[in-house]
Amino acid sequence: MAYALITGASKGIGLSMANLLAMKHYDLLLVARSGEELETVANTLRTKYNVQVSWLAQDLSLPNAAETVYKWCTDNHYTVSVLINNAGYGIWGTFESLTLEKQSNMLQLNMQTPVALCHYLLPMLKAQPQSYILNVSSTAAYQAVPTLSLYAASKAFLLVFTRGLRQELKGSNISVSCLCPGPVNTNFVDRAGMQAIKATAEKFGMHPDTAADIALKGMFNKKAEIIPGALNVISAFSTRLFPKNMVEKIAGSLYKS
């Protein structure tokens, strides 16, 4: 029995992907910080779709989090055929004004943990007839974003890492994809402390179910990069056409308080 493992599965895009995969009769391994929320999600999915669902409450911003997740899988003989590195967050503010500790925790979650999970789980994924890795980045990966400087940098890292890993595994049984959504109506704005632009973000944000549906279709179709929404596609690729200074100034103006 092979499972789909989803990080950040208790809410937002991760929760939507869990629901969609359960509808496709995938058994699930769900990882997030809140055990109470995960237990509720797991019970709902088991009852609604008659699938196996196991969960692990784990703070993925901790240095050894990926090793803990891997040990949980091996100790319980869980075999993974789909790895979705969805967990991530941003912190809003200038680099100088934010504490180094908070920014380091974000970098650990957004970069180091997905990389480590890919490394730990590659042998499992290679043992399956067909496997998938989906790393969740952001349209912020395509340019620097003042007041979200390290968030954008971490998502750019994840995008480039995914591109490289995809090429390394080309011709194997593992397809590697990167999801780069624009604004999605999740708790990202609240977690980042961006209440000043919350109304605007919610007005233009995509529903997480829509983003998740596009993401999974792209993943199963073995697409390299998946950008939900035509405007987001145009925005991402326009960064190649205009001077970086202009693009970065526009990006910064969108996130001013």
Q: What is the mean pLDDT of the chain?
A: 90
pLDDT tens readout for residues 163-201: 999 999 999 999 999 999 998 886 665 554 555 444 555
List 2's β-bridge partners, or say none. Answer: 79
- How do the domains of the chain map onto residue ranges? 2-254
* Residue showing tokens 């080309």: 170
Provide the pLDDT for residue 195: 52
Domain 2-254 carries which CATH code? 3.40.50.720
Residue 25 corresponds to which tokens in the numbers above?
């009769």
d(CA 15, CA 29): 12
pTM: 0.90
> pLDDT per residue over 4-18, tens digit each?
999 999 999 999 999
Q: Cβ contacts of residue 92 below 8 Å, gap of 6+? A: 147, 148, 192, 193, 194, 255
Q: What is the pLDDT of residue 189?
A: 56
Please report which helix (H) or strand (E) contains residue 149, including its range.
Answer: helix 149-168
Residues 6 or more apart in contact with residue 87 via CB below 8 angstroms: 7, 8, 14, 31, 32, 60, 109, 113
For residue 127, give the amino acid letter. A
Output the tens digit of pLDDT for each of the chain's 257 residues: 799 999 999 999 999 999 999 999 999 999 999 999 999 999 999 999 999 999 999 999 999 999 999 999 999 999 999 999 999 999 999 999 999 999 999 999 999 999 999 999 999 999 999 999 999 999 999 999 999 999 999 999 999 999 999 999 999 999 999 999 998 886 665 554 555 444 555 555 799 999 999 999 999 999 999 999 877 777 666 666 555 665 455 556 666 65
Q: Which amino acid is located at 29 in the chain?
A: L
Non-local CB neighbours of 163 within 8 Å, separated by 6+ positions: 178, 224, 225
pLDDT at site 198: 44
**Both tokens assigned to 3:** 């499972």
Residue with tokens 């690729």: 237
What does the pLDDT read at residue 196?
Answer: 45
pLDDT 10s digits, 152-166: 999 999 999 999 999
